Amino acid sequence: MKNLKLTALILSAVLFVANSASALVMNVTVDSSGNYLQDGNLNSANSLASVAFYQTALGIASGNPNNRGDNFKLLDYVVKNWNNNKNPKIPAAVLGSTPTADNGSLNGIKSYTTAAGFDYVVFHFGNGKAGGGSDDDEKGWWAAWYLGGQSATFGLPQEGDPLEDVGGFSSARYFNPTTSVPDSGTTFALLGAALLALVGFRSRKS
């Protein structure tokens, strides 16, 4: 009976750690009140930064430069907004050196799978049907996502009423390389199996 209780306790602990280690991929593009940005019928899962919001994050009055440094300014801005208002808390944005995974020329593709091993990705989307007005300063959208080291596949977000694609992916830039990539609890499951085997061995031995 004692061994059964020990087994249950170990299994519970392993499952808890495995669940804790599974990162939640989530859109972190929020304003200073912690609200997801809303444009038209846009829902929180597809929240986007408009050119106006991007300019605010960058501290500029016009233009929409899309490069690693300016993408980082957006990321830093929204991560601070998130941590001031929402849970779970997420790591501070770190610029770091340009990772080989950075892709600044996606040429309008309609879906994109991120590289594993990074906490964040910042996407830029081109004009598309919902890309903004005729002025160049009004075109394009951005979105920042927390990845927690995982790879994920993204489709195009939609905006407006009626909803329309915002255009293809034009860039994906990564930040905060993680030291280890979460593997959906596989490692912890193996650890749990080893611990359970050890309990069984001790039980037979006693």
Comparing 203 with 166, the larger pLDDT belongs to 166
**Which pLDDT band holds residue 158 (cuts at 50, 70, 90)?**
confident
Q: For the residues 68-87, what does the mean pLDDT come to?
A: 97
Q: Is the pLDDT of residue 2 over 80?
A: no
Is the predicted pLDDT of residue 39 greater than 80, yes or no? no
What token pair was written down for 41?
A: 């019928």
Structure confidence by residue, pLDDT tens digits, 45-70:
679 998 889 999 999 998 889 999 99
* Average pLDDT, integer, range 124-133: 61
188: nearest Cα among 7, 25, 11: 11
- Across the range 152-160, mean pLDDT stands at 87
Residues ≥6 apart with Cβ < 8 Å to 2: none
Q: Is pLDDT at 184 greater than 50 in this prediction?
A: no
Return all residues near 176 (Cβ < 8 A) that are at least 6 apart: 91, 93, 94, 96, 118, 119, 120
pLDDT of residue 12 exceeding 90, the answer is no
Mean pLDDT of 31-40: 78
> What does the alpha-carbon distance between residue 115 and residue 2 come to, in Å, rounded to a whole number?
46
Q: What are the tokens at 163?
A: 């909803």
What are the residues whose beta carbons fall under 8 Å from the beta carbon of 150, sequence distance 6 or more?
A: 23, 25, 114, 116, 181, 182
**Run of H or E including 8:** helix 2-21
69: tokens are 């440094």
Largest CA distance in the chain: 79
Higher pLDDT, 2 or 170: 170
d(CA 23, CA 3): 32
* Mean pLDDT taken over the chain: 76
